[in-house]
């Protein structure tokens, strides 16, 4: 797949895609606030609470390949509107979920939100990759990451201020009141989330209409003669297969670093009103990491090396989390944002390199790797229930080790096996 060589249309497209990444971030990083909120309001343990991330991210696995078919049928621009519309349905489903305090309906709403996001991401990530030379793809995706993480810093602060305000007093009352009073407290707490998701649903509907009428340059999906001569065996590309595993593990550690930090702060003895801002700390450090990536890649550092050094930093910080206490451990967990920042933008071009006309299918497979955000936090949650929240972070280390292996040897495996 050739890149689009039109600076004017590319600039407009990048601005529009940046808006979409802001929406991705705003909705995705609300999970860090939803987890402690739903854990209290729906009376859950750690393992049960992390079904928030499971329901949200499992949709990517199921929708990645169907999303490609949908985008083929309706087109890129209409696919954006469709995805936004589906996300609005998921957001509005929070209304009955909150009224009936039904964890199952909450999870269904999250799954539908993830379904809409899967359609959007399946189109957007390869689109950014070809809006310029492949060598600078990591830099462009890093710019998109800035939009994502700025939204991720803002959204937990907004939702946390609304639904977690005074939550410590509520939890204290829940321990001492009678069953009927407890039920009233929990029901009132659950309903605090309704206004936020009503507004979100309405905004997503408006955006779906706006994007339907926006003009975007068409992506040239035509393949050259060399591409046509390749066999359509997607799994013969080892850089893609290993890239799928790398994305799976990366998304898992990224979700853990952002979505477990509030409960970890509570575990370390910090009141949840203070801990509710910790997710924004992680996203702030990711923002710093993206800025570093934009400056260094590819002028001073190849994307493969950036990925390798990021994985090593992740391993180091994981050990520090295990060996420290209190705010030192929490800040170290947030600092994983720097280690995680360039992983997504670096893995994509490495994994898709040399796929030619199979790039769209390869992109769908990488999107399926977002499944890691569903599975790995659940593993963390189970370990947290069994061994404690701190020791559970040991799950990060083997994930970063594999990503370091992929960064060091993924390209070499590619070059040895391409026709």
- Over residues 41-48, mean pLDDT: 95
- Hey, how many other C-beta atoms are within 10 angstroms of the C-beta on 95? 18
Question: Above 60 in pLDDT, residue 227?
Answer: no
Output the CA angle 268-274-280, nearest 5 degrees.
100
The single-letter DSSP state of residue 164 is S
Q: What is the pLDDT of residue 134?
A: 63
* Domain 7-215+230-417: homologous superfamily in CATH: MFS general substrate transporter like domains (1.20.1250.20)
Q: Which of 242-256, 277-291, 402-416 has the highest mean predicted lDDT (pLDDT)?
A: 242-256
The alpha carbons of the chain give a radius of gyration, in whole angstroms, of 21
Q: What is the pLDDT of residue 130?
A: 66
CA 235 to chain centre: 25
Q: What is the pLDDT of residue 80?
A: 85
Left if phi > 0, otherwise alpha if psi is -120 to 50, otherwise beta: which for 196? alpha
* 252/289 Cα distance (integer angstroms): 18
pLDDT band for 411, please (50, 70, 90 cuts): low
Mean pLDDT for all residues in the chain: 87
- Over residues 53-71, mean pLDDT: 88
* 123/64 Cα distance (integer angstroms): 10
* 381/389 Cα distance (integer angstroms): 8
* 157/237 Cα distance (integer angstroms): 42
Structural domain spans, the chain: 7-215+230-417
Q: How many residues does the chain have?
A: 419
pTM: 0.87
* 23/83 Cα distance (integer angstroms): 11
CA 207 to chain centre: 21
- Over residues 23-34, mean pLDDT: 92
Output the CA angle 347-60-96, nearest 5 degrees.
140
Q: What is the pLDDT of residue 415?
A: 46
pLDDT band for 202, please (50, 70, 90 cuts): very high
């Amino acid at each position: 797949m050739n890149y689009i060589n039109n600076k004017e249309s590319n600039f407009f497209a990048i601005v529009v895609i940046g808006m979409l990444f802001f929406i991705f971030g705003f909705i995705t990083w609300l999970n860090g606030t939803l987890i402690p909120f739903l854990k209290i309001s729906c009376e859950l343990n750690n393992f049960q609470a992390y079904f928030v991330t499971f329901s949200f991210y499992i949709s990517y696995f199921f929708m990645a390949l169907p999303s490609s078919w949908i985008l083929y049928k309706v087109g890129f621009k209409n696919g954006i509107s469709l995805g936004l519309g589906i996300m609005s349905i998921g957001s509005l489903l929070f209304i009955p979920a909150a009224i009936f305090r039904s964890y199952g309906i909450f999870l269904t709403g999250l799954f539908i939100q993830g379904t809409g996001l899967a359609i959007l991401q399946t189109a957007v990530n390869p689109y950014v990759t070809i809006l310029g030379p492949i060598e600078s793809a990591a830099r462009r995706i890093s710019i998109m990451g800035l939009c994502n993480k700025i939204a991720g810093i803002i959204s937990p602060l907004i939702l946390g201020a609304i639904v977690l305000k005074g939550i410590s007093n509520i939890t204290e009352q829940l321990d001492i009141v009678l069953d009927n009073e407890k039920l009233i407290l929990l029901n009132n707490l659950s309903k605090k989330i309704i206004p936020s998701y009503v507004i979100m649903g309405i905004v997503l509907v408006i955006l779906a209409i706006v994007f339907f009428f926006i003009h975007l340059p068409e992506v040239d999906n035509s393949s050259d003669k060399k591409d046509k001569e390749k066999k359509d065996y997607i799994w013969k590309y080892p850089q893609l297969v290993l890239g799928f595993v790398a994305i799976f593990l990366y998304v898992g550690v990224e979700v853990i670093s952002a979505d477990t930090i509030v409960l970890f702060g509570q575990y370390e003895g910090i009141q949840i009103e203070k801990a509710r801002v910790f997710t924004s700390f992680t996203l702030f450090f990711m923002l710093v990491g993206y800025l570093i990536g934009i400056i260094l890649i590819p002028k001073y550092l190849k994307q493969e090396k950036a990925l390798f050094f990021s994985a090593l930093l992740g391993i180091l910080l994981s050990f520090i989390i295990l060996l420290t206490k209190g705010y030192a451990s929490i800040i170290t967990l947030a600092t994983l944002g720097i280690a995680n920042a360039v992983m997504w933008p670096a893995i994509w071009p490495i994994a898709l390199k040399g796929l030619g006309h199979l790039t769209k299918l390869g992109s769908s497979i990488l999107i399926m790797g977002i499944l890691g955000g569903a599975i790995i936090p659940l593993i963390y949650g189970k370990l947290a229930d069994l061994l404690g929240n701190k020791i559970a972070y040991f799950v990060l280390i083997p994930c970063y080790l594999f990503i370091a292996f992929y960064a060091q040897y993924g390209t070499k495996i590619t070059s040895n096996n391409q026709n």
